C-alpha cells in the first residue's frame, strides 16, 4: 500500500510541462542516458536534466517532444551535468522508461492540476 499524503503535500510538488529543445547521448553516465535541455517557458526558463530513456527513444526523436518534470527539487550533480529538473516517466514490463507527457499540445510551463 502506498503512503498517504495530504492535498497540501501534493501542491508542494511543482510539476510542469516543458518542450525538449536539445537531446544528446550522455557518455559519462554510469547507466545509458541522455542529456536534455528543456524549455519551460518564460516563468521557469530553460533547464537541464538527464534521463535513462535510451531503450525507447533516440535523441533526434526527442527534440520538440513535450515532457512533464518536477521543477522545484534542488539541482543534483549527475557526473559532469547539473540536473535541474526531474523528468517523469513510467517503467514498462522490461524496466524501460516511457516518458510522462500530455497527449495534446499544451503551452510550455503549464502546471499539473
- Taking only the tens place, the pLDDT of each residue in 19-71 is 999 999 999 998 999 999 999 999 999 999 999 999 999 999 999 999 999 99
Segment 4-31 shows an average pLDDT of 95
The whole domain housing 57 covers 7-99
**What is the per-residue pLDDT for 22?**
98
CA 14: distance to chain centroid? 12
Write down the number of H helices and E strands in the chain.
3, 9
Say how far apart CA 81 and CA 33 lie, in whole Å.
Answer: 12
Question: Does any domain span residue 108?
Answer: no
Residue 78: give its domain's CATH number. Answer: 2.40.50.140
Question: Does any domain span residue 12?
Answer: yes
Q: Nearest-CA neighbor of 52 among 103, 101, 99, 13?
A: 99
Question: Does any domain span residue 21?
Answer: yes
Q: How are beta strands 34-39 and 15-25 bridged, if at all?
A: antiparallel
Say how far apart CA 22 and CA 9 lie, in whole Å.
Answer: 32
Q: Which position has the grid cell 533547464? A: 47
**pLDDT tens track for 84-108:** 999 999 999 999 999 999 999 999 9
Question: Does any domain span residue 20?
Answer: yes
**Does residue 76 carry a pLDDT above 90?**
yes
The three cell numbers of residue 8 are 497540501
Number of domains in the chain: 1
Question: Does any domain span residue 17?
Answer: yes
Question: Does any domain span residue 50?
Answer: yes
pTM, 2 dp: 0.94
**Does residue 79 carry a pLDDT above 90?**
no
Question: Does any domain span residue 105?
Answer: no
Amino acid at each position: 500500500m502506498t503512503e498517504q499524503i495530504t492535498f497540501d503535500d501534493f501542491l508542494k510538488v511543482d510539476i510542469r510541462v516543458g518542450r525538449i529543445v536539445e537531446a544528446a547521448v550522455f557518455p559519462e553516465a554510469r547507466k545509458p542516458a541522455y542529456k536534455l535541455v528543456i524549455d519551460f517557458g518564460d516563468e521557469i526558463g530553460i533547464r537541464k536534466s538527464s534521463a535513462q530513456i535510451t531503450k525507447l527513444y533516440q535523441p533526434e526523436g526527442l527534440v520538440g517532444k513535450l515532457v512533464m518534470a518536477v521543477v522545484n527539487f534542488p539541482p543534483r550533480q549527475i557526473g559532469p551535468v547539473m540536473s535541474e529538473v526531474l523528468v517523469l516517466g513510467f517503467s514498462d514490463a522490461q524496466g524501460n522508461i516511457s516518458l510522462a507527457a500530455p497527449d495534446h499540445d499544451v503551452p510550455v510551463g503549464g502546471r499539473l492540476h
